[in-house]
C-alpha cells in the first residue's frame, strides 16, 4: 500500500472513530431532550445533530472540492453555532427546526458522500473536520451536563475520591527563562496556534495543584463568592452536580468556575492567575536543574509519552473530575501536577493572535471573530478533551462569565 493510501486510511479511521464518539454522546439523550436548549446562550441540541455533518460537508465537499449541494437549506441552517454575551438568548422555537428523521437522513447522505471524497481532500482539511467534531464532542458534553437527569440515559462511571481534604498546597518556584508558545511550521494546528515563538518569563511561584472544591468552599462560606454553577446547595450542604448524578462535594477535586470567579478567588488570596506564557513555562521544561529549566519544548508536561489515563483525566475516560493529586505520573519537570486534563485552566491572558497570525481561507472566522478582548485563553484540557487536542500549542477561549465550561484554575505568585 502506498504512503498516501496508508495516510488516507488512517484519516478515515480517525473520522469514523470521532463520528462514533459524537453518535454515542447523542445516544445518551432521550428523544424529548433533543429540542431543548440546556444552555441559554447556545443553540437547541437539535442544531448540533445537523451541524457536525453540515460543517464537514460544507468544508470538504463544497468549499474544497466544489461539489454541488444536495440540500442547500440544511447546509446553511446548520452552518454556524452562536456565542452571544451571557444573558442574551436566542428566540427560536422548537417548531422552527426540522424533524429528527429529516436531519438523520441528511447526515447519512453526507457521511456516505464524504467517505468517497475524503481522500481527494488535502490532509489538513480532513484534520480540521476531525478536530472540529472532537471539539464538539466536548461542547456536547457541556450541553448534556445541563440536561435534567431524567432526560438522559445514565453512563456514569464509578468515581473515587479521598475523604481527607488536602492541607496546604505547595507553591513551586519557577526560575526565570524562556517559554515556547505556538506550533511548529508544517505540523497541524488551528490558525491561532501559529507562529511558534519564545517569550522570556520572569521568575514566579505556581500552585502544585489546581484549586479544589474544598478550598473554594471556604471562600464561599466566608462570604467571598456565591456557589459556582456546578454546585447544588441543599439543607446547608454543598453537592457537585455531576454529569449523571449529584454527589457530596468532592473536596479534593478541582473546582469548576468562571474566569471572573477564579480571578476573584486569586485576588482575595493576594495572588494571580497564570498568564499563558507562565502556564507554558511551568509545564514544558525538558529538565530542571538547580531551579533552571532546559528547552521548554516538551510535547507534554510529563515528556514524550503519548497521553494515557495514568498521566491525567482526559480523552473521555471519565465525565467528571478526579482529585487534584490523582495523577503524579503526569507531573511536569518542575513537579507541577495536572496541567493537562482534569479541567482546563483559566489564564490571565486575553485571547489574541500570536505574531505572524494568518487566518485560513477555509475558515477565516475561526479565531479572528473572537479577538475582541472579551475572551480569555484556557489551557490544558478537561476529562472530555480528546487526546489530539492535548498538544502544547492548542488554545481554547471563553467569555469570562460563561459558567458551563469544565474550567479550573491554579494560583501564581509573581
Ligand atoms: Fe462548530
* Residue among 374, 160, 382, 142 at smallest CA distance from 254: 382
pLDDT of 1 over the 70 cut: no
> 201 - beta bridge partners?
177
Whole-number Å distance, alpha carbon 326 to ligand 1 midpoint, is 32
236's CB contacts (< 8 A; 6+ apart) are: none
pLDDT of 233 over the 90 cut: yes
Structure confidence at residue 48 as a pLDDT band (50, 70, 90):
very high
Distance CA 78, CA 375 (A): 24
pLDDT of 81 reads: 76
Inter-residue contact 137 to 18 (CB < 8 Å): yes
Is 375 strand, coil or helix?
coil
Whole-number Å distance, alpha carbon 126 to ligand 1 midpoint, is 15
Whole-number Å distance, alpha carbon 201 to ligand 1 midpoint, is 34
Q: What is the mean pLDDT of residues 105-113?
A: 98
Whole-number Å distance, alpha carbon 135 to ligand 1 midpoint, is 8
156's CB contacts (< 8 A; 6+ apart) are: 242, 243, 244, 245, 319
The per-residue pLDDT for range 217-229, each reduced to its tens digit, is: 999 999 999 999 9
pLDDT of 101 over the 90 cut: yes
Looking at residue 61, the DSSP 8-state letter turns out to be I
Whole-number Å distance, alpha carbon 113 to ligand 1 midpoint, is 20
* Residue among 34, 38, 66, 57 at smallest CA distance from 47: 34
pLDDT of 405 reads: 97
Average pLDDT over the chain, rounded to an integer: 93
The per-residue pLDDT for range 120-138, each reduced to its tens digit, is: 999 999 999 999 999 999 9
* Residue among 273, 411, 262 at smallest CA distance from 336: 411
Which grid coordinates are listed for 373? 478582548
Distance CA 234, CA 236 (A): 5
Q: Give the CA count within 13 Å in the CB-facing half-sphere of 286.
A: 8
- Cα dist. 216→20, 251, 256 in Å? 37, 9, 10
Structure confidence at residue 170 as a pLDDT band (50, 70, 90):
very high
Matching residue, cell 479511521: 13
Whole-number Å distance, alpha carbon 77 to ligand 1 midpoint, is 12
Whole-number Å distance, alpha carbon 52 to ligand 1 midpoint, is 7
Structure confidence at residue 5 as a pLDDT band (50, 70, 90):
low
Matching residue, cell 442547500: 72
pLDDT of 413 over the 90 cut: yes
Whole-number Å distance, alpha carbon 22 to ligand 1 midpoint, is 13
pLDDT of 161 reads: 85
Which grid coordinates are listed for 149? 437527569
Which of 159-173, 329-343, 371-385 has the least mean pLDDT? Answer: 159-173
pLDDT of 127 reads: 94
Looking at residue 365, the DSSP 8-state letter turns out to be H
pLDDT of 333 over the 70 cut: yes
Amino acid at each position: 500500500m502506498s504512503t498516501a493510501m496508508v495516510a488516507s486510511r488512517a484519516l478515515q479511521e480517525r473520522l469514523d472513530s470521532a463520528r462514533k464518539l459524537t453518535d454515542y454522546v447523542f445516544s445518551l439523550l432521550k428523544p424529548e431532550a433533543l429540542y431543548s436548549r440546556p444552555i441559554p446562550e447556545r443553540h437547541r441540541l437539535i442544531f448540533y445533530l445537523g451541524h457536525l455533518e453540515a460543517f464537514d460537508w460544507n468544508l470538504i465537499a463544497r468549499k474544497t472540492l466544489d461539489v454541488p449541494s444536495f440540500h442547500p437549506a440544511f447546509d446553511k441552517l446548520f452552518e454556524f453555532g452562536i456565542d452571544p454575551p451571557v444573558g442574551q438568548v436566542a428566540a427560536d422555537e422548537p417548531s422552527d427546526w426540522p424533524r429528527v428523521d429529516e436531519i438523520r437522513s441528511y447526515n447519512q447522505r453526507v457521511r456516505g458522500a464524504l467517505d468517497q471524497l475524503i481522500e481527494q481532500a488535502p490532509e489538513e482539511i480532513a484534520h480540521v473536520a476531525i478536530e472540529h467534531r472532537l471539539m464538539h464532542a466536548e461542547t456536547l458534553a457541556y450541553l448534556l451536563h445541563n440536561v435534567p437527569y431524567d432526560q438522559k440515559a445514565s453512563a456514569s462511571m464509578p468515581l473515587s475520591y479521598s475523604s481527607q481534604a488536602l492541607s496546604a498546597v505547595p507553591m513551586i518556584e519557577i526560575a526565570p527563562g524562556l517559554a515556547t508558545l505556538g506550533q511548529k511550521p508544517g505540523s497541524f494546528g488551528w490558525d491561532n496556534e501559529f507562529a511558534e515563538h519564545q517569550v522570556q518569563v520572569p521568575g514566579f511561584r505556581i500552585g502544585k495543584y489546581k484549586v479544589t472544591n474544598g478550598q473554594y468552599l471556604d471562600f464561599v462560606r466566608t462570604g467571598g463568592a456565591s456557589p459556582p454553577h456546578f454546585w447544588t446547595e441543599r439543607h446547608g450542604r454543598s453537592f457537585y452536580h455531576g454529569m449523571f448524578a449529584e454527589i457530596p462535594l468532592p473536596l479534593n477535586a478541582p473546582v469548576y468556575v468562571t474566569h471572573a470567579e477564579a480571578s476573584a478567588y486569586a485576588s482575595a488570596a493576594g495572588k494571580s492567575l497564570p498568564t499563558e506564557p507562565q502556564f507554558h513555562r511551568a509545564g514544558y521544561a525538558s529538565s530542571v536543574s538547580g531551579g533552571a529549566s532546559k528547552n521548554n519544548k516538551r510535547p507534554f508536561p510529563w515528556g514524550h509519552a503519548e497521553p494515557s489515563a495514568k498521566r491525567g483525566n482526559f480523552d473521555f475516560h471519565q465525565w467528571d473530575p478526579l482529585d487534584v493529586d490523582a495523577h503524579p505520573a503526569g507531573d511536569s519537570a518542575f513537579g507541577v501536577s495536572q496541567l493537562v486534563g482534569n479541567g482546563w485552566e483559566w489564564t490571565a491572558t486575553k485571547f489574541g493572535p500570536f505574531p505572524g497570525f494568518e487566518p485560513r481561507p477555509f475558515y477565516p472566522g475561526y479565531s479572528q471573530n473572537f479577538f475582541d478582548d472579551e475572551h480569555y485563553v484556557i489551557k490544558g484540557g478537561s476529562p472530555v478533551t480528546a487526546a489530539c487536542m492535548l498538544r502544547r500549542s492548542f488554545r481554547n477561549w471563553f467569555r469570562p462569565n460563561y459558567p458551563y465550561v469544565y474550567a479550573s484554575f491554579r494560583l501564581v505568585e509573581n
